[in-house]
Chains A and B, each alone.
Chain A
């Protein structure tokens, strides 16, 4: 690996660590992306769409709920009651902020390399 790439990575790590710890997790980021695009989804649908286990989705949703990023609500459906997850206003705001931060960061990295 070239030396300048090593140094840019070591500069990048502290910055990345400062970013949203809830959404800077691949599975939680994907869950947030899914909810951001499609709106409220049942836990089962999230697991199916992202190819994750129900337990995994449940754990991540609980963490996101604790931080105020999602709301969980049990709702009646034709196939019986289901728990639906929905991004809160805070969740939407933090998601958009993270994408913008990463965008600025990636363009900064590109500028640093050129």
Chain B
């Protein structure tokens, strides 16, 4: 009997590890998918914007992010099982706050410094990731549901490199921001996947 109980315990423990593994891995894959899809999308928008020089291209591009977000969520859900998991209290409101607060701040800053508006999104993204870490990621880690801090890593890298963009001409700064963004998304994604796989080697 002890043997069969032992087997049940082993299975349960393995299930617990896999539970955390999939949650952490889905975070890593999200960074890779969102980075690749949004990076490619904005490269196309920047290219069209460089040809036609109309602000409407960027406004349309920003609106296009809404369906693109749903597409990315769908793609991540297709690659990682069990993405729809139990959350933390008011998780939806926390996500919205993490996005709205930096965007509202950015709008205010771009009114004061219009020359910075072409790469301000980069700083907004960094601030937004930091808020996601504070409002969501930290709680998931303390609840033992996550084994990595990709949002914190990405936010630190973005916020540390953001001031350097002010030294560059606006168009170069926006392209550099996009390149750095893709690089840091990849780093955060690989970091989360590496941390997830460590669950089975510790």
Contacts and interface: CB of A to CB of B under 8 A. Distances in A.
Q: Which of B5, B12, B22 has the most CB of A within 10 A?
A: B12
Contact of A38 (B2, B6, B22): B22
Nearest to B77: A39
A12 B6 CA distance: 14
Interface of A: 9, 12, 29, 33, 36-40, 86-87, 89, 92, 95-96, 98-99, 102-103, 105-106, 109-110, 113
Interface residues of B, number: 20
Nearest to A102: B9
B13 A99 contact: yes
B5 A9 contact: no
B5 A106 contact: yes
Majority SS of interface residues in chain B? Answer: helix
B2 A102 contact: no
9 nearest A-B pairs in the assembled complex, by CB-CB distance: A39-B82, A99-B12, A38-B81, A37-B18, A38-B82, A103-B9, A106-B5, A33-B15, A109-B2
A89 B86 contact: yes
Contacts of A33: 11-12, 15
Contacts of B81: 37-39
Contacts of A89: 86
Q: Which of A37, A103, A109 has the most CB of B within 10 A?
A: A37
A92 B86 CA distance: 9
Nearest to A37: B18
A110 B9 CA distance: 13
A37 B14 CA distance: 9
Nearest to A40: B84
Interface string B1-42: 110011011011101101100100000000000000000000
Contact of B16 (A29, A96, A102): A96
Contacts of B1: 9, 12
Nearest to A96: B16
B12 A105 contact: no
A24 to B, nearest CB: 9
A38 B12 CA distance: 13
A57 to B, nearest CB: 18
Contact of B83 (A39, A99, A109): A39
B104 to A, nearest CB: 33
